[in-house]
Amino acid sequence: MLVTPKTMMDFFRKSEGIWFTQRTVHHFDTVTDESGESKLYVGVVPPEDERVQSICADQGIKADQARGGASFMWQAHEDTGEPNPEQAAVLVDIPDDETGRSGKLLRNQGYIEKIPVICRYWFGADGILTIDTEYDQNQGQERCWFLTDDFRVRVSTVRTLNGVYLMTYCSERRLVSPQDLEHMVQHNLARSS
């Protein structure tokens, strides 16, 4: 049974690992095609981590309000080296209340504009996470949900003063290490005999 996350830290924990992303991007003002495949590395960051403390200080928010966070790094799918730390972000969870179903996300740098930013998030009753971000010149909205524990969907839009600029659809599946794959094979062989 799929258990959908209802708090941001649950979402981060469920997302931890490496994901293969297939991305389709629709630009409404150019013919640029940024569709493609990439890897997304997600790691949970505890509240006492110095990155959480620093991001809270930069945004003028008391660090004791943070429940923790997550680090995200992107890499082209065919790239086999270490991910580039310049293509990374750290998000810090500041929930509105004890339920953790809504709150603020502090980012050390935004996805659209590379500036520190504060986002609003909430979880719907259906388990869909919505994140709204106000930048200096743009607005972004991202929605994300799990279809299984190892497959999730992300949809985002970017709006400028002139209207919708782009829409992105991503399907993401968790990458399985060779050791995990061998363990699953052995487990299924044992079940079938």
For residue 149, give the CATH number of its domain.
2.40.128.20
Q: What angle do CA 156, 158, 159 make, to 5 degrees?
A: 140
- Amino acid 161: pLDDT: 76
Tell me the per-residue pLDDT of 80-109, one tens digit each, with 9 for 90 and over.
778 777 778 899 999 999 999 999 999 887
Q: Is position 12 within any domain? A: yes
**pLDDT level of residue 114 (50, 70, 90 thresholds):** low
Q: Is residue 2 part of a domain?
A: no
Q: Is residue 3 part of a domain?
A: no
Does a structural domain hold residue 101? yes
Contact residues for 59 (Cβ-Cβ < 8 A; gap 6+): 106, 116, 118
Domain assignment of residue 172, yes or no:
yes
pLDDT (tens digit per residue) in 14-51: 999 999 999 998 887 776 777 889 999 999 999 999 99
Query: What is the tally of structural domains in the chain?
Result: 1
Contacts of 183 (CB under 8 A, 6+ apart): none
The rounded distance, in Å, linking the Cα atoms of 193 and 190 is: 5
Per-residue pLDDT band at 155 (split at 50, 70, 90): very high
- The angle at the Cα of 53, spanning 92 to 98, to the nearest 5 degrees, equals 50
| Structural domain for 88, as ranges | 8-192
The pTM (predicted TM-score) of the whole model is 0.86
**Which tens digit of pLDDT belongs to each residue from 183-193?**
888 888 898 88
